[in-house]
Amino acid sequence: METFKYFAFALLFFCCLSLDAQQKNIELLSPNGKIKVSVDLKDRINYSVSNDGNLLFNQDLQLQLRNETLGKKPKLSAQSRTTVNEDVKPAVPFKFSTVKNHYNALTLRFSGNWSVEFRAFDDGVAYRIVTAKKGEIEVMHEDVNLSFPDDYLLHLQYAGKTRGFAAVYEELYSHISSKEWNAADSMMAVLPLLIDTRKGDKILFSETDINDYPNLFFKGKGKDNGISSALPPSPLKMEVDTVGNIWITERADYIAKTVGNRTFPWRWFIIGNDRLLLESPMAARLAPPCALQDVSWIKPGQAFWDYINRSTDYGPLVTYRQGINTPTFKRYIDFAGKNNIPYLLIDAAWAKDHSAAPELEVVPDLDLPEIIRYGKSKNVAIVLWMFYHPIQRDLLDDSYNLFEYYSKMGVAGFKVDFMDRSDQWIVNFYEQAAREAAKYRMILEFHGSYKPTGLEYKYPNILSYEGVRGLEYGGGTTPENSIYLPFIRNVVGPMSFTPGSMLNTQPEHLRTGWGYNWATIGTRVHQMAYFIMFESGLQMIADSPRRFEENPDCSDFIFSVPVVWDETRALAAEVGQYAIVAKRRDNRWWIGGITNNAERRREIDLTLDFLPEGKTFDMLVFEDGPNANGQAMDYNIRSIKVKKDDRINVRLARNGGFAARIE
């Protein structure tokens, strides 16, 4: 991540404070003065956050170590303040090629060699704990306990009834009152969490820059009206079963054993309206700096994905039995090459045993070196699905290295799957795998993963994560749930949703037992809009070549959509109802919009105020057809001339969409 500072350290001072001064409230304002952090130091550290004078929440803050609790009867020794206004340029720009990073900071230093840093932005706040202890420390717990002044609406994703800390972040969203989320509820929730104050402000809560430390989970506090933190204990012993699954057999009584001189994760809150959630680059601002000197080899792009398509292709070019074999993948490579799709992702079952060692034995019908050679001849690079356990084993065993072996073969990267945990040990695996992959110039997508936490900025060869209920669930993925993704999951980082279905239905028409005909809920244009709306550095193409060949107008549009962006503008948004964004790459703009299962067709007027002055543009529009409320495949195409400040009317069918390109 390259950083350019316009100015920094506008104000910096240190002062020793008396005991009386410690009892007083310490305040930090955002640059525009609207958001305020008020820190109260008495028997504990408690801070509150308000916006335009309205209290949003307060939090007790402390870190429990083995032999001391940081934050209990804190003794303030000094404080410092800074103002930073800089431009940050991510190596892989998921939302903006230049991120504005303007904030006021307050650092409170306490006796016992530790401190808390707060940052106040115009669109939110963040804090982290910093320790300067010698040697190792054992962290027993971190208290992140929020209290709300009113009954808020929480949009959250449970960890799952039986999974506990082994969450895969793929549950449907739940929507509950903060006072009704009972502490006795056995299910925890994961981050990110969207909080609706019901008075205009939305608060998105998540975390960034996690290293050598577990992810946060939460439980409700019932009538006490708030949420309290839970963190997975660190594993002590693990066993591998006969199919390669790793099971924890003994856990520590601490959540992390780590170095004492370190920063802890950023806890951050985006504060604002629905449209701001779609635009905020908070995760990029707080991410660690890029660890790679050369990022020129990292090429984000679309990827043709074989997993759902292995038996759905048909037509005169399919003269072979489909499956995991050389003719099938050559057909996919031909299709990808013809449409300038830079990657083919070969998913699970290409090896006889994905947990075997050292190299994996390829199934007999697949000539993997030939597929890699053939792909290169068509400018299509191969990415392989990989179970995480053999990678983890090799990271601990210097005698063999899967990254080295497959990079020499010509493989471009791995889709690493089934981590399915969020503890300190697995967090370290993510970084070790990313670092090792970068040595061999290999890209990664983490599947079976937790949500992004900023590692993709430190190691930009990480192009995407799962941690989302994507289209692989088929009828279990609905627009009613997916409409929340732009406001929650995709705000924190790239996600592998696997869009692109060309067989589209309304929910009442979806039937099981269709054999190999994979269908999804939502209109055709709803699916097309996902490519604009959802951010991923490795954006999957999730239907068969034949289906795309039968729909050249739609497929040509989809394959033209970039996966990285110079600019993002929210045009219209209401959480849980609809979202419309405009995104720019170079001198082209794309507009994407999606909505839920509303009974009536929505009509939304948009102003094209983001276009440059004095030019006329061609706008290609895909919109739901007049019968799309029942026949989801119905769509219209039109071309119009537009200029800055023109108004257009967007009509969205139920579970519908809107997609346009302006050039």
Taken in order 537, 542, 548, 552, the sign of the CA dihedral is negative
Q: Is 393 helix (H, G, I), strand (E, B) or coil?
A: helix
Q: Is 593 helix (H, G, I), strand (E, B) or coil?
A: strand
Give the integer Cα–Cα distance in Å for 102 and 521.
41
417 is catalytic: yes
Contacts of 202 (CB under 8 A, 6+ apart): 194, 195, 196, 270, 271, 272, 273, 274, 276, 277, 487, 575
Q: In the beta sheet, which residues pair with residue 595?
A: 578
472 is catalytic: yes
- Alpha-carbon distances, residue 119 vs 63, 147, 283, 320 (angstroms): 19, 20, 13, 60
Give the integer Cα–Cα distance in Å for 190 and 168.
10
- Alpha-carbon distances, residue 85 vs 88, 287, 520 (angstroms): 10, 16, 45
**What is the amino acid identity at position 591?**
I
SS3 per-residue string spanning 474-521: HHHCCHHHHCCHHHCHHHCCCCCCCCCCCCEECHHHCCCCCCCCCCEE
Out of 472, 535, 623, 624, pick the active-site residue.
472
Out of 207, 209, 417, 436, pick the active-site residue.
417
- Alpha-carbon distances, residue 202 vs 105, 155, 314, 490 (angstroms): 22, 11, 47, 16
Give the integer Cα–Cα distance in Å for 593 and 522.
12
- Secondary structure element (H or E) that encloses residue 38, with its range: strand 35-41
Query: In residues, how long is the chain?
Result: 663
> How close are the terminal C-alpha atoms of the chain, in Å?
29
Which parts of 538-644 fold into alpha helices (H)?
A: 545-549, 552-560
Give the integer Cα–Cα distance in Å for 266 and 339.
41
β 578-585/567-574 pair status = antiparallel
Q: Which residues are catalytic?
A: 417, 472
